[in-house]
Amino acid sequence: MDRWFLIAATLFAVIGAVWGMVSVHRGRRSKWTVFWMGACFLCQLGFLSLRGQARAACPLADHGEILVFLSWSLTLFYLLVGSAYRISLLGVFTAPVVVVFQTIALASGALERNPQRIPGGNPWHETHSATSVLAYGALALAAVAGVMFLVLDRQLKEQHLKSGLFRNLPPVRELLVSMERLLWLGGGLLTIGIIAGFMMPHDSAALGHLLAAVSVWTAYMVVLAIKKTRGLTGRRLSLLAVALFILSLGVFAFV
């Protein structure tokens, strides 16, 4: 039953992406993308709820569940940020990422067919897992906003000022403000996750994961510190947001 929720969520994300791309190609903004991503979000909640009941804990016990939880977090922040900053086109860039993550979870065998209960759940472990993946959702959306900025920058340089994509892209300032705030939010959540990680019981096998997480946190904090003290151009901040997120996915290799 849980897989049907995930399949439905993936289909809704596909529809949202395709609908948005077609609308942009025709030179219009698609308000329906938010609707389809909202439906995707509800199905993701259904999947995570069922897996959580089966696990009797936060459903982050295998790589498939981590990917779905990350997709849910990404969708959540899109629904919040897209409406707050009126960046409706953000869904057109977000939906394909959700589709890729959830398709990998479904097709790669990353999801356990019969999830087992997790005995003796530790509150610090739950906090570490949940806040860390939430942080990755914010950082993923910051990377998506970075891609949008780079596309807008390229459109300006090549003077494609009449294309449907350019006319529907949000102002540069809105993109940069949302991206920087998402980076701070992701960094804050990651800080909580790392502190909880050190507080929870762990053995030497978890040391590599914690060191990788600290390395990711340090890299993001350095970028934010430079942005705060010396400043970074929008292009450089966008490139760093995208590159750091891609590199930071290596943390999950230690899970």
**What percent of the chain stands above pLDDT 70?**
85
pLDDT digits (tens, 9 = 90+) for 225-254: 999 999 899 899 999 999 999 988 877 655
Total residue count of the chain as it appears in this document: 255
CA 91/CA 98 separation, integer angstroms: 10
For the segment 202-222, the average pLDDT, to the nearest whole number, is 81
When pLDDT is cut at 50, 70 and 90, the band that residue 209 belongs to is: confident
Whether 52 has a pLDDT exceeding 70, the answer reads yes
User: What pLDDT, on the 0 to 100 scale, is given for residue 54?
Assistant: 85
Judged on CB neighbours under 10 Å (0-12, 13-18, 19+), 162 is: exposed
Whether 168 has a pLDDT exceeding 70, the answer reads no
C-alpha dist (Å) from residue 152 to 26, 140, 170, 185 = 18, 19, 9, 24
- Residue 141 backbone phi and psi in degrees, to 5: -70, -35
Average pLDDT, the chain: 84
> What is the amino acid identity at position 161?
L
Kindly give the residue spans of alpha helices, DSSP state H, lying in the chain.
2-25, 32-55, 63-84, 90-107, 123-157, 164-168, 172-199, 207-229, 234-248
What 3-state DSSP class applies to 61? Answer: coil
Q: Kindly report which listed range (46-55, 66-75, 77-86, 163-172) carries the lowest average pLDDT score.
A: 163-172
Q: Which residue has the higher pLDDT, 213 or 163?
A: 213
Whether 125 has a pLDDT exceeding 60, the answer reads yes
C-alpha dist (Å) from residue 96 to 16, 145, 166, 196, 254 = 9, 13, 19, 32, 26
For the segment 143-165, the average pLDDT, to the nearest whole number, is 76
Asked if 220 and 187 count as a contact pair (C-beta separation under 8 A), the reply is: yes
User: What pLDDT, on the 0 to 100 scale, is given for residue 26?
Assistant: 67
Judged on CB neighbours under 10 Å (0-12, 13-18, 19+), 136 is: buried
Q: Look at phi and psi of residue 83 and say left if phi exceeds 0, alpha if psi is from -120 to 50, else beta.
A: alpha
User: What pLDDT, on the 0 to 100 scale, is given for residue 75?
Assistant: 94
User: What pLDDT, on the 0 to 100 scale, is given for residue 205?
Assistant: 58
Asked if 132 and 206 count as a contact pair (C-beta separation under 8 A), the reply is: no
User: What pLDDT, on the 0 to 100 scale, is given for residue 169?
Assistant: 64
Global pTM? 0.86
- Residue 169 backbone phi and psi in degrees, to 5: -70, 145
Tokens 């067919």 map to which residue? 113
Asked if 237 and 176 count as a contact pair (C-beta separation under 8 A), the reply is: yes
For the segment 178-205, the average pLDDT, to the nearest whole number, is 86
Q: Which residues of 217-239 are buried (b: 16+ CB within 10 A; e: fewer)?
A: beebeebbeebeeeebebeebbb
For the segment 196-201, the average pLDDT, to the nearest whole number, is 82
Q: Look at phi and psi of residue 27 and say left if phi exceeds 0, alpha if psi is from -120 to 50, else beta.
A: left
When pLDDT is cut at 50, 70 and 90, the band that residue 104 belongs to is: very high
When pLDDT is cut at 50, 70 and 90, the band that residue 100 belongs to is: very high
